Structure 1
Amino acid sequence: MIKRQAVKGKSQVKLTFVQPYEANRPRTYVVGDFNDWTPVSTPLIKRTNGTTSASVVVASGERVRFRYYTEDGKWFNDEAADCYEPGEFGADNSVVVAQL
C-alpha cells in the first residue's frame, strides 16, 4: 500500500510506503529516486498495527521510481504501484505519481 498526504503549506506530497510485517523477512528498505537508490538509507520501521512503513516527501506531481530491498540482497516491487517501467539493470521498477 502507498499512502499519499499533502504537506501543509507546500506543493509537496508525503508518500508512505507500507508492507505487511513478516517476522522472518530480513530488514527491508524502500529505495528509489528520492534517496538516489541508496539501499540502506530509508528502512521500513515495524508498526504496532502489524505493518512496516517508511515515508518520504517529494514534489507534488513527481513520478517516483522505487523498489524494496532486503538485507539479504533481494529486490521486489510494490503491488500497489501506479505502474511499472523498465529499470537500467533489467528489472522493472515500481512507479508512483505523487498527486492526491
Structure 2
Amino acid sequence: MSIKKQFIKTKPVCKVTFSVEAKDAIEASVIGDFNNWNVAEGALSKLKNGTFKGVFDLKKDAAYEFKYVIDGVFVNEPEADSFKFNEFAGNENGVLVV
C-alpha cells in the first residue's frame, strides 16, 4: 500500500494517488471525508499486476480521515500520516494531511 502526493502550484488541490496490493481481490475502494465515505466514488482500478490504483484531487491545507475497502473488508493504510480513533466506526481511521 502506498500514498503519493503531487501538489499543484497553480491550483488549491493536491493529486493523491492511492495504491493497494490485493492480487486476489475483486474490488477495492478508498473511502473517507473527501468522498462522503462513498465506496462507488472511491473505486480503484485494478492493474495487471494485481495492484488497485486511483488518483483523486483533494483540497490542500486539510486533513482527511480515510480507509480502504477491499472486497468488503475495511483496511487501514500503514503509511497514513497519522491515525485517529473514530467513535462512529469504533476503530481507528488513517489520516491524510495535504
> Normalised by the shorter chain, which TM-score bucket?
0.7 to 0.9
Q: TM-score, normalised by structure 2?
A: 0.86
Contact between 1:33 and 1:65, CA under 8 Å: does it hold in 2? yes
3-state secondary structure, aligned to 1:96: strand
Deviation of 1:28 (Å): 0.8
Q: TM-score, normalised by structure 1?
A: 0.85
Identity of aligned residues (%): 30
Gaps of 5+ in 2: none
Q: Runs ≥4 in structure 1, deviation > 4 angstroms?
A: none
How many residue pairs align between the two structures?
A: 96
Gaps of 5+ in 1: none
The structure in which a higher percent of residues are strand is 2
Contact between 2:66 and 2:93, CA under 8 Å: does it hold in 1? yes
Alignment correspondent of 1:29: 29
- State the Cα RMSD in Å: 1.6
Matches of 1:6 and 1:18, distance apart in 2 = 18
